[in-house]
Amino acid sequence: MTYLYAAYIATWVIHIAYLTSLLRRYSRLRNEINELREKH
Amino acid sequence: MKRAFPILAILTAILLSYGLYQALVVAPTEQTMGDVQRIFYYHVPSAWTAGVLFFINFVASIVYLARRNSKVDALALAAAEVGVVFCTIVLVTGPIWARPVWGIWWTWDMRLTLTLVLWLIYVSYLMLRRFSTSGQTPVIAAVLAIFGTLDMPLVYFSIWFFRTQHPQPVMGGGGSIDPRMLHAFFVNLIAFTCFGLLVCWSRYRLEVLRREVEELQALESLLELRSPR
C-alpha cells in the first residue's frame, strides 16, 4: 500500500505545485496590469 | 468559454474525485500484483493526457509555421508545458509501480527510455522558449516540436517492436479485464483528459495575457523615449 499511496500523493503534489505556479504567474501579471493602469 | 470555465472546473473536480473513489475503493484488487496495481488508474490516464497535449502542441506548431499566428503559438506553448507536467507524473509513478513488481526502480528498457527521451525533448522545447531571446524562437520551437512528436508513436509501438519489460496493453492486447476495473480506468481517463485540457486552457489564457502586457509595456517605453519629461 505504501507504493500505491506514494504514487497517488506524488501525482497530486506535482499537479498542485504546477497549479500554484500558474496562480503565482497570474497574480504577478495582475500586478503588472495594475501598474500600467495606474500610470495612465 | 470564460463563463463556462468555473462550471467545467467543478465538473472535472467531481469527476476526479469519483475516479479516485473508483480506483481505490470500487475496483477489485488485482490477483498477481495486489493493491499496487491501482497505480495503473493514474499512470495510464496521465500518459494518455500527455499524449493528447503533445498532439495539440504538434498541430498548433504546424498551424503556426503555416500562418504565423501568435495565439496558435501560445496554444502550442501551453500544451507543451502542461504535457510535460503529465509526462513527469508518468515518469514518477512508473518507477514507484516498477519497484514492488519488477524489484527495480528503473531499467533502460525501450519504452521507458523513449518516454524519458520524449520528456527531455519537451523540457528542451520549454527551455528554448524560456531562455532564447531570438525573434525566430517560435519558429525554431515549432520545428523542434514537430520532430519531437515523432517520438510519440515510437513510445507507443515500442512494446511491439522491441523486447521490453513493460507490459502489453490490457485492452486490445488479447487480455481480459474485470468490468469494474475497466469502469475505474475509463472514469479516470476522462477525468484526467478534462483536467489536462482545462489546465492547458488556463495556461493558454495566461500566455495570451502575458503577451498583451508585454506589448503594452513595450509601447509604453517607446512612448516614454519619444516624449522625455
Contact B213 A36 (CB under 8 A): yes
Q: Is residue A3 in a domain?
A: yes
The amino acid at B20: L
- Averaged pLDDT, B142-150: 92
- pLDDT at residue B172, as a whole number: 57
Structural domain total, chain A: 1
Q: Are A24 and B114 in contact (CB under 8 A)?
A: no
- pLDDT at residue B3, as a whole number: 81
Q: pLDDT higher for B203 or B156?
A: B203
Interface test with A, best of B213, B215, B220, B224 (most A CBs within 10 A): B213
**CA dist., res. B166 & res. B90, Å (int):** 13
Query: Per-residue pLDDT tens for B69-116?
Result: 999 999 999 999 999 999 999 999 999 999 999 899 998 988 899 999
Q: Is the ipTM of this complex over 0.90?
A: yes
- pLDDT at residue A24, as a whole number: 96
Q: Is residue A20 in a domain?
A: yes
Interface test with A, best of B53, B85, B101, B198 (most A CBs within 10 A): B85
Contact A36 B216 (CB under 8 A): yes
- Averaged pLDDT, B17-24: 95
**CA dist., res. B223 & res. B216, Å (int):** 10
Q: Is residue A40 in a domain?
A: no
- Averaged pLDDT, B167-185: 76
- pLDDT at residue B222, as a whole number: 84
B207 contacts: CB under 8 Å, gap ≥ 6: B74, B77, B78
Rg of chain A over all Cα atoms, to the nearest angstrom: 17
Contact A29 B209 (CB under 8 A): yes
Nearest Cα to Cα of residue B40 among B30, B54, B25, B50: B30
E strand intervals along chain B: none
What dihedral angle (degrees, nearest 10) is formed by the CA atoms of A29, A34, A40, B1? 70
From the list A4, A18, A29, which residue is nearest B36 (CB)?
A4
A27: containing domain: 1-35
pLDDT at A38 over 90: no
**CA dist., res. B79 & res. B97, Å (int):** 27
Interface test with A, best of B41, B53, B93 (most A CBs within 10 A): B93
Q: Are B107 and A10 in contact (CB under 8 A)?
A: no
Residues of B with CB under 8 A from a CB of A: 20, 24, 35-36, 38-39, 42-43, 46, 82, 85, 88-89, 92-93, 96-97, 99-100, 195, 199, 202-203, 206, 209-210, 213, 216-217, 220
Altogether, the residues listed in chain A come to a count of 40
- pLDDT at residue B170, as a whole number: 62
From the list A14, A22, A32, which residue is nearest B89 (CB)?
A14
Query: Per-residue pLDDT tens for B152-170?
Result: 888 888 887 777 777 766 6
pLDDT at B173 over 60: no
Query: Per-residue pLDDT tens for B48-66?
Result: 999 999 999 999 999 999 9
User: What percent of chain A clears pLDDT 70, i.e. is strictly above it?
Assistant: 98
Q: What is the pTM of this model?
A: 0.91
